[in-house]
A and B are shown apart, each in its own frame.
Chain A
């Protein structure tokens, strides 16, 4: 997946050129797999927050 030449292939589909009225048609495609992966990641990582108190 990673090499100096190839760079880093992500699991996020590039939807920049996809018309919105076609987006819902992509249900059974790689998009569905990406969505599943994304949801799994969100469940693996608990509270998605980075917080800092400078007085501690």
Chain B
């Protein structure tokens, strides 16, 4: 008879605050261990019902028996193996394939068992799958150049390992590559980074081979050359130093809960994607960040996701929902569960910049830290409030989000300069208006009624504005390049961005004026662009709102910032009727 995992209320509340000390993280990890065993149990059931003559089934059974032997001889080695994110990802993939009526990757369990046995010094004799000339030892590394069709016999007396006649090595050398320079023929140890600062240690593997962890937004980096590996080692070490010395609330828990980094291949030099999955607790996927501060921020951000994913395995906080909501960090509308993940991650990000503002010394870096803090700080309360307004939260979820909201509210007030605050507000507005024009529409019949009143020259008076509803990807918004350039100013502030080159694709004359901060001229140019457009075009409308904002507070500025979808649809409706109307006049009428 087994009991279920239990999370104390103190741990729950600490996590809701965005915290959770290493003890809390250990509780989450222990539950993940049980979850992974549950997955192994499901796959074992499937294997028992599969064709027993199959080599994959035989490998699974042999692997399972070997794991039981490892557990008896050295329970810690089983705990290590089963707790790896590799096992969670593999188990999930098996479930998915079983649900689709496909054969799961049964042979992988033999690989995993061999890893644990090598580590524990337990002997074995079983077949391992060969994939693309490689034999995987999850969590340790892989043999490469294996000249075998699909399976190879692996034997070990607990001290030495043989792979058929292909390779032989001491078990103690079948281990990750910690940079000590040990060379074992045909063996590639997973790079192990041992970051040490002020006596605090974080050991993390760089995983570049396991197919079940090649599952994120960008492909896993297949192999790291010497220079690539050195860059990762340096970034991780320097980020760890920063986290230990200035973000202690994050460093200890992160080290306790993150054992794998999956390097992802960036699409472009300045691209930085990062990702996690709740099915692979302990793994953070990311492109190589450009500097230690960004690396540290990325680790904090992604570890928040890992914590929440593991918590959601224990406590149901969000009901499935068709509802879609605005998230200030994403281009697409998000379901409540996605928004909860995002706001939790950004609480970590805001806390990071809250402290980092006081760590930076160079004026540009101080400016950037303040700007980033101002960019993300207000989003916590905003998004937590949005979540509380949905009906998707369970009672536990409502309590969690209420604590989260309070934590967002208690972040230190901004002390950003006027310029930093201005850029942060501009980026926030650009994102919000882009999202609105991309994903929302005003009620057409109400827009028609308004248009009729406008044409008759009547004041809007007490007429209410049309309802706006979400309609995903309803319009294409061609302002990506301008937004990227605005972001560039955010990422490279204080004049490091020179004058814009002429004729930049995707940038209009009005955009150049806006980016050059010539607001009045930009307003006039955007009005001309809107009037000259053959079809309703969102991009200049967003530019107009951004340019008007620079001229200071006014009813028109307020209307463009808060009623854009209605104003846009009203103008489009009038244009369709052949009525040539001034964008600012319509905005003023709607104010």
B45 at the interface (CB under 8 A from A): yes
Number of interface residues of A (CB under 8 A): 44
**A 7-45 to B, binary, CB cutoff 8 A, 1 in contact else 0:** 111111111101111011011011100110011011111
CA distance A55 to B395 in the complex (A): 35
8 Å CB contacts to A: which residues of B65-88?
A: 65, 67-68, 71-72, 78-79
* B329 contacts across to A, CB distance below 8 A: 52, 56
B34 at the interface (CB under 8 A from A): yes
Do residues A15 and B4 form an inter-chain contact, with CB atoms below 8 A?
Answer: no
The answer, among B5, B42, B79, for a CB contact under 8 Å with A35, is B42
* A48 contacts across to B, CB distance below 8 A: 92, 277-279, 309
The answer, among A4, A10, A18, A20, for a CB contact under 8 Å with B2, is A18
B64 at the interface (CB under 8 A from A): yes
* B12 contacts across to A, CB distance below 8 A: 7-8
B274 at the interface (CB under 8 A from A): yes
* A54 contacts across to B, CB distance below 8 A: 272-274, 294, 298
CA distance A51 to B37 in the complex (A): 27
CA distance A7 to B38 in the complex (A): 23
Do residues A24 and B48 form an inter-chain contact, with CB atoms below 8 A?
Answer: yes
Do residues A16 and B276 form an inter-chain contact, with CB atoms below 8 A?
Answer: no
Which secondary structure characterizes the binding site on chain B? helix
Do residues A50 and B345 form an inter-chain contact, with CB atoms below 8 A?
Answer: yes
Do residues B3 and A53 form an inter-chain contact, with CB atoms below 8 A?
Answer: no
CA distance A49 to B511 in the complex (A): 35
A-B contact count (CB 8 A): 164
Q: Name the residue of chain B whose CB is nearest to the CB of A43.
A: B99
Do residues A50 and B341 form an inter-chain contact, with CB atoms below 8 A?
Answer: yes
B551 at the interface (CB under 8 A from A): no
Number of interface residues of B (CB under 8 A): 72
Do residues A30 and B275 form an inter-chain contact, with CB atoms below 8 A?
Answer: no
Q: Name the residue of chain A whose CB is nearest to the CB of B298.
A: A54
Do residues B484 and A55 form an inter-chain contact, with CB atoms below 8 A?
Answer: yes
B291 at the interface (CB under 8 A from A): no
Do residues A14 and B275 form an inter-chain contact, with CB atoms below 8 A?
Answer: no
B41 at the interface (CB under 8 A from A): yes
CA distance A15 to B271 in the complex (A): 42
Do residues B35 and A20 form an inter-chain contact, with CB atoms below 8 A?
Answer: no
Do residues A24 and B277 form an inter-chain contact, with CB atoms below 8 A?
Answer: no
Knowing A23-B41, A56-B330 are in contact, say whether A44-B2 is a contact too (CB < 8 A).
Answer: no
Knowing A8-B7, A44-B320, A52-B329 are in contact, say whether A18-B37 is a contact too (CB < 8 A).
Answer: yes
B571 at the interface (CB under 8 A from A): no
Do residues B7 and A34 form an inter-chain contact, with CB atoms below 8 A?
Answer: no
Do residues B92 and A42 form an inter-chain contact, with CB atoms below 8 A?
Answer: yes
Knowing A10-B6, A12-B35 are in contact, say whether A51-B44 is a contact too (CB < 8 A).
Answer: no
* A21 contacts across to B, CB distance below 8 A: 65, 68
Knowing A8-B6, A42-B95 are in contact, say whether A20-B320 is a contact too (CB < 8 A).
Answer: no
* B484 contacts across to A, CB distance below 8 A: 55
The answer, among B11, B272, B298, B342, for a CB contact under 8 Å with A55, is B272
B331 at the interface (CB under 8 A from A): yes
8 Å CB contacts to A: which residues of B287-313?
A: 294, 298, 301-302, 305, 309, 313
* A9 contacts across to B, CB distance below 8 A: 4, 6
Do residues B41 and A31 form an inter-chain contact, with CB atoms below 8 A?
Answer: yes
> In the complex, how many angstroms separate the beta carbon of A45 from the nearest chain B beta carbon?
6
Which secondary structure characterizes the binding site on chain A? mixed
Knowing A20-B68, A21-B68, A51-B273 are in contact, say whether A12-B314 is a contact too (CB < 8 A).
Answer: yes
B492 at the interface (CB under 8 A from A): no
B444 at the interface (CB under 8 A from A): no
CA distance A6 to B38 in the complex (A): 25
Centre residue among A3, A5, A16, A21 by max chain B CB count within 10 A: A16
The answer, among A12, A18, A20, A39, for a CB contact under 8 Å with B5, is A12
Do residues B315 and A30 form an inter-chain contact, with CB atoms below 8 A?
Answer: no
CA distance A28 to B235 in the complex (A): 49
* A55 contacts across to B, CB distance below 8 A: 270-272, 484, 487, 491
8 Å CB contacts to A: which residues of B519-541?
A: none
**B 212-240 to A, binary, CB cutoff 8 A, 1 in contact else 0:** 00011100000000000000000000000
CA distance A12 to B7 in the complex (A): 11
Do residues B2 and A50 form an inter-chain contact, with CB atoms below 8 A?
Answer: no
> In the complex, how many angstroms separate the beta carbon of A41 from the nearest chain B beta carbon?
8
**B 13-49 to A, binary, CB cutoff 8 A, 1 in contact else 0:** 0000000000000000011011101101110110010
Q: Name the residue of chain B whose CB is nearest to the CB of A23.
A: B41
CA distance A20 to B77 in the complex (A): 13
CA distance A49 to B99 in the complex (A): 19
* A6 contacts across to B, CB distance below 8 A: 9
Do residues B272 and A12 form an inter-chain contact, with CB atoms below 8 A?
Answer: no
CA distance A44 to B270 in the complex (A): 35
Q: Name the residue of chain B whose CB is nearest to the CB of A2.
A: B396
Knowing A12-B314, A23-B37 are in contact, say whether A52-B271 is a contact too (CB < 8 A).
Answer: no
Do residues A52 and B345 form an inter-chain contact, with CB atoms below 8 A?
Answer: yes
The answer, among B35, B45, B78, for a CB contact under 8 Å with A24, is B45
Q: Can you add 20 more A-B contacts, CB < 8 Å, to A10-B6, A29-B1, A35-B42?
A: A2-B396, A3-B9, A4-B9, A7-B8, A9-B6, A10-B314, A12-B38, A12-B314, A16-B33, A19-B68, A20-B68, A21-B65, A21-B68, A24-B41, A42-B92, A48-B92, A48-B309, A50-B277, A52-B274, A55-B484
Q: Which residues of B contact A (CB under 8 A)?
A: 1-9, 11-12, 30-31, 33-35, 37-38, 40-42, 44-45, 48, 64-65, 67-68, 71-72, 78-79, 92, 95, 99, 215-217, 270-279, 294, 298, 301-302, 305, 309, 313-316, 320, 329-331, 337-338, 341-342, 345, 395-396, 484, 487, 491
User: What are some 10 contacts across the A-B interface (CB < 8 A)?
Assistant: A4-B9, A8-B6, A8-B8, A8-B314, A10-B31, A12-B34, A16-B30, A20-B37, A38-B35, A49-B277
List 8 A-B pairs, minimum CB-CB distance, nearest first: A10-B314, A51-B275, A20-B68, A15-B34, A50-B305, A7-B8, A51-B217, A8-B7
